[in-house]
Structure 1
Amino acid sequence: MDIHVSIEGRGDRIERVYRGLRDAVLDGRLRHGERLPATRELAVSLGVSRSTVSTAYERLTAEGYLAARVGSGTFVAMPVQTASGSGARPAVPASARQGALPAPAWRDLADPLWTEPRPIAYDFSVGSPEPALFPADAWRRSVAAALRGPALRTAHYTDPAGAERLRAGIARHLGLARSVAATADDVVVTGGAQQAFDLLGRTLLQPGDTVAVEDPGYPPVRQLFEQLGARVVPVPVDDHGLRVDLLPAARLVYVTPSHQFPLGGVLPLERRTALLEWAARHDAVIVEDDYDSEYRFGARALDPLQRLDADGRVVYVGTFSKTMLPGLRLGFVVAPPSLVPALRSAKRLTDWHNDVVTQTAMARLLDSGAFAAHVRRARRVYEERHALIGREAGELLSGRLAVVPSAAGLHLALRPVDGVPFDSVRVMEAAAVAGVAVQALPRFAVGTGWEGLLLGFGSIASEDIPDGVRLLAEAVGRTRPGRPTA
């Protein structure tokens, strides 16, 4: 391995080499059992004499940090945990030093979706698919085929918009599954939906522009546009989604019309039409987030806004994070032709393009029909969990919480029954103590008065749902306003 040791300045070079190697052992950069370079090799690398390195090695060996094996070389002999208690002072990590500071807007930026980890037996977290449903065998075959193919036989960067085969596959899939009108030329592949929102914000907004977002809504989008210098205005939602009649004059509106996040309402056709008319009047752009449209249980969904758009004002955003795995970091934008060149440039300047092997593998999954088959299998599982969690919550929490009707997605919202006081955050904390992870609705809202809980069913097995809801109901009973939580 290559090892760098600072030997600049005056003084004994043997001492500098010795201390540099010792500190690397103590702070874990050199791990137990790792082989060090030969003395001649390290001497050439550092620009010192071989005897300097040999003497430092001998001293470290005598003190127990290294061990020499005849015919094999020199190895680290002291484990990190032993070294840390030896009395020697390890190097100070960079995070512990005072140094450069970020711009004020980035200091202490909280993650409203993050909760402190606890031992969790019943995970009702929102937004995560079931890892066990991931089509691992089909994915391995697709990755293996991508590695054998031409994807890695070039030393050049590729199209920032993404692999043409994947873009074509996305356009075809969306056309069949969601009636989205698109060709490969309209698609830009992104690192998940969040990067799609970032590219849109940077290509559409200037500091001070007004952006309208749903309230309650998806906090990372609101935070992103604020960090880009926009004036973000929360707009209330009701049982049917965004209140279009309350929209201000704005450059951009972010909306989840097919399954409002987090409440689950569906924007009716008359509001969709009114939203498109609003955009035309205000020369605005509509960002349509269709984040979990594949999981619809029951009646066919309304056509997306993108399909109804005749003026080129709707940008459609989707992701494979809910259907495959978030770790793949695959999302996409379907944009009007007038926006695609700017989005391609923004993608190029951000990270140039997504991983080629992952793109190629995903394209093969789409082309072969394996992705559609996977979605059908997963939909059946989630539909069962959706019904089960609604039934259990309706029985065990009746009189306190009511299930908000929803026919899609990977979570359900529960709102307090009219007139019943409810402290969502206290209930969430009490449930966590009992080993149940839920999320409090106020974390997703800017305005006040929003109480309730979100129960996801992507990460919990069907057989665990009844016990999880029962423990949640007990936590609700322990946290009535005015009563202690323990």
Structure 2
Amino acid sequence: MDVHVSLVGRKDLAGQIYRQLRAAILDGRLRAGEAAPPTRELARRLAISRNTVAVAYDRLVAEGFLESRVGAGTFVRDAGFLERERPAASPLRPRKVWDEVGVWPARMPGITWDFRAGLPDVGLFPYESWRRIMAGRLRPSALGDPAAAGDPAGLKELREAIARHVGVSRSVRAAAADVVVTSGIQQALDLVVRVLLEPGDVVAVEDPGYPPVRMLLRAAGMRVRGVPVDAEGLRVDALPDDARAVYVTPSHQFPLGMPMSLPRRRALLEWAHRRDVVIVEDDYDTEYRYGGRPIEPLQSLDDGGRVLYMGTFSKIMRPVLRIGFLVAPPSLHRAFRLARYVSSWHADLPVQAALARFIDEGLLARHIRRSRREYEARHERVAGLLGTLFADRLAVVPSAAGLHLSATLPDGTDDAAVVRGALAEGVGLFALSEFAVDGPAVPGLVFGYGAVTLPEIGEGLRRLRRVLG
């Protein structure tokens, strides 16, 4: 183990080394059985005499902190040292907003039937193809100049591939220059906040809606206002007059699942134009559509340059592969590049290069076609069983896209209690009330089918039926 030892001045050098190594042992930074640095190496690093280091080691051996093993070196002795008390508490305190921000979702141990929303089936991903491409991008010849900084907006070849992909699959109007590669939806939204909003600005979000978005906005000092949704999506007539931005999921409302109707989308664009408001469109999973007409994104309907379009590859590929993107008009290109630079510079360059190749070889499109067939079968199975097993308890919200379905429970039902009872049966899912913002929480359940296989769905839902009685 490499131990950091620093010297202050040139007096009592052996004593300084002794005290620092002793503190490392007592603090647990050096654990029993771990090797102390060889005296010759430590002396070279500190530019001092080896005898000086040996004096400090001899004292530590004499006091039982270290032991010498002939031919092997010097090691921390297992003598049952009690760890020292930590230093006095720091006077530093976080801003109060961090007392209100938590981690979502909470851990749910013991799940056998996983109906949590937002999780893809990682078993469907073509790992061999991805491994081949990644291996090629990690060769020294492919990594390029180690001193190259990289474009904060992302590798040019990936931005070109993303622009082509969203143009074909989602009818998004974008050139490579309009694309900023991010580590996911939340970083894209964070960039929007940095570039366009001021602390105290009002941001309207759907109610119910995605919890991490409002957590991020509140942590950034925004005032978050929930706006109710109905069968046509976000209610434009309920938007606050003082909103500076609106965050929406129009293609597949999260968590309820309905798309925003065309008249409602046009009304939102007109409202934003009159009020000088930015629209943030989160199109998180609409590659997976199972019927009906394709939903035209707000971005393609927008003639005024007011829509910022965000997407992610987490739902298509793997959540741990943190790659997303933001599509912005030319007037914001420079600011978004700078915001990306000052926050985290750029995403993982080999992964960016691999994803560009993955898209260009047609592997992403092939994976989407294959996984869409599987998810459609699961969608139909879940919807069918909810209609038969739960006809007296659940009202399914119509949806023909994505990786989840929502259903409401009778008024007054404690959906959180239902979720706890389901977890005791090994069934994991989310309560609809978790997604409420300002309005009254509608009781219900959200059924994800990305992480539960087709054969498992029936047994998982039957166990849930027993919980509901």
TM (norm. structure 1) is 0.89
Q: Which amino acid aligns with 2:129?
A: A
Structure 1 63/476 Cα, relative in aligned 2: closer, same or farther at 3 Å? farther
Instruction: Identify if the C-alpha distance between structure 1 residues 464 and 159 changes in structure 2 by more than 3 Å, giving closer, same or farther.
Output: same
Report how far residue 456 of structure 1 moved.
1.1
Report the AA paired with residue 315 of structure 1. Answer: L
Change (3 A) 1:55 1:277: same
Distance 1:46 1:20 in 2: 13
SS of the residue corresponding to residue 4 of structure 1 reads coil
Does the 8 A contact of 1:4 with 1:46 survive in 2?
no
Contact 2:130 2:358 in 1 (8 A): yes
Show the counterpart of 1:277: 270
Distance 1:284 1:16, change over 3 A: same
State the partner residue of 1:480. Answer: none
Contact 1:124 1:455 in 2 (8 A): yes
Q: How far, CA to CA, are the matches of 1:97 and 1:133 in structure 2?
A: 49
In structure 2, the CA distance between the partners of 1:267 and 1:474, relative to structure 1 (3 Å rule), is same
Counterpart of 1:306, as a letter, is: Q
Q: Is contact 1:431-1:437 (8 Å) kept? A: yes
Q: C-alpha distance in 2, partners of 1:403/1:177?
A: 28
Say whether residues 1:408 and 2:425 are aligned partners: no
* Residue deviations 1:150-171 (CA, integer Å, cap 9, x gap): 4333412111110000000000
1:437 maps onto 2:428 in alignment: yes
1:3 equivalenced with 2:12 (yes/no)? no
Match of 1:262 in 2: 255
User: Of the candidates 212, 224, 240, which is equivalent to residue 220 of structure 1?
Assistant: 212
* Larger deviation, residues 47-56 vs 296-305: 47-56
Letter in 2 for 1:88: L
Q: Could you give the per-residue CA deviations for residues 88-121 of structure 1, whole angstroms, max 9, x where no partner exists?
A: 22463x8x8434111222235223x222442221
1:125 matched residue in structure 2: 116
CA displacement, residues 116-141 of structure 1 (integer Å, 9 cap, x when unaligned): 44222122112111121222111111
1:9 positional shift: 9.3
Partner AA of 1:342 in structure 2: A
- Contact kept in structure 2, 1:216 and 1:445, CA below 8 Å: yes
AA in 2 matched with 1:415: T
Q: Which whole-Å deviations, capped at 9, do the CAs of 1:303-347 have from their partners, x for residues lacking one?
A: 111111111111110001111112121100111111221111110
Q: Cα–Cα, structure 1 residues 39 and 190, in superposed 2: closer, same or farther, change >3 Å?
A: same
1:375 to 365, 368, 381: 368
Equivalent of 2:182, from 177, 190, 209?
A: 190
- Residue 71 of structure 1 and its aligned partner are, at CA, apart by 4.0
Q: 2:32 & 2:289 partners in 1: Cα distance?
A: 52
Map 1:86-97 to 2 at 5 A: 86-90=80-84, 92=86, 97=89
State the AA in 1 paired with 2:113.
Y
Q: Which residue of 1 aligns with 2:132?
A: 141
Matches of 2:220 and 2:245 in 1, distance apart?
13
> What is the CA–CA distance in structure 2 between the aligned matches of 1:188 and 1:205, rounded to whole Å?
18
Structure 2 residue 197 is the aligned partner of structure 1 residue 200: no
Count of residues in correspondence between the two structures: 466
One-letter amino acid of the counterpart of residue 408, structure 2: R
Instruction: Please say if residues 161 and 189 of structure 1, whose CA atoms lie closer than 8 Å, have aligned partners that are also in contact.
Output: yes
Pairwise CA distance, 1:7 = 6.1
Is the contact between residue 61 and residue 68 of structure 2 (CA under 8 Å) also seen in structure 1?
yes
Match of 2:37 in 1: 37
Residue number among 319, 326, 329 corresponding to 1:333 in the alignment:
326
Distance 1:211 1:21, change over 3 A: same
User: What SS class does the counterpart of residue 326 from structure 1 fall into?
Assistant: coil
1:259, 1:297 → 2: CA distance? Answer: 12
For 1:346, the equivalent position in structure 2 comes to 339
Cα pair distance change 1:16/1:225, threshold 3 Å: same
Corresponding residue of 1:481: none
Question: What residue ranges of structure 1 are gaps of 5+ in the alignment?
Answer: 478-486
Q: Is the 8 A contact 2:28 2:83 kept in 1?
A: no
C-alpha offsets along residues 368-425 of structure 1, whole Å, 9 cap, x if unaligned?
00111111111122112111122222222221112211111111111014xx541111
| Cα separation, 1, equivalents of 2:391 and 2:59 | 73
- Return the alpha-carbon distance in structure 1 between the equivalents of residues 459 and 30 of structure 2: 47
Distance 2:177 2:11 in 1: 63
Which residue in the other structure is 1:321 paired with?
314
- TM-score, normalised on structure 2? 0.92
Who is 1:232 aligned against? 224
- Of 105, 109, 123, 1:114 maps to 105
Hey, what's the Cα distance between the residues in 2 that align with 1:300 and 1:307? 16
Would you say the 8 A contact 1:190–1:354 is kept in 2? yes
% identity of equivalent residues: 53
Measured in 2, the distance between the counterparts of 1:33 and 1:377 equals: 52
Post-superposition CA distance 1:440-465 (Å, at most 9, x none): 11111121141111111122222221
For 1:301 and 1:121, the matched residues in 2 are separated by: 34
Corresponding residue for residue 396 of structure 1 = 389
Give the aligned partner of residue 354 of structure 2. Answer: 361
Match of 1:288 among 276, 281, 290: 281
Quote the Cα distance in structure 1 between the aligned partners of 2:89 and 2:44.
Answer: 32
Mapped partners of 1:457, 1:65: distance in 2:
55
Cα pair 1:124 1:438 within 8 Å, conserved: yes
Equivalence for 1:451: 443
CA contact (8 A) 2:409 2:415 kept: no
Counterparts of residues 414-425 of structure 1 (less than 5 Å): 414-417=407-410, 421-425=412-416
List runs of 5+ in structure 2 lacking aligned partners.
none
Matched with 1:427 is: 418
Provide the residue aligned with 2:152 in structure 1. 160
Question: Could you tell me which amino acid in structure 2 is paired with residue 54 of structure 1?
Answer: A
Distance 1:42 1:170, change over 3 A: same
Amino acid at match of 2:299: Q
Q: Give the alignment partner of residue 247 of structure 1, picking from 239, 247, 252.
A: 239
**Using the alignment, how far apart are the partners of 2:63 and 2:123 within structure 1?**
49
1:28 & 1:10 partners in 2: Cα distance? 27
Shift of residue 224, structure 1, vs aligned partner: 1.8
CA-based RMSD: 2.5
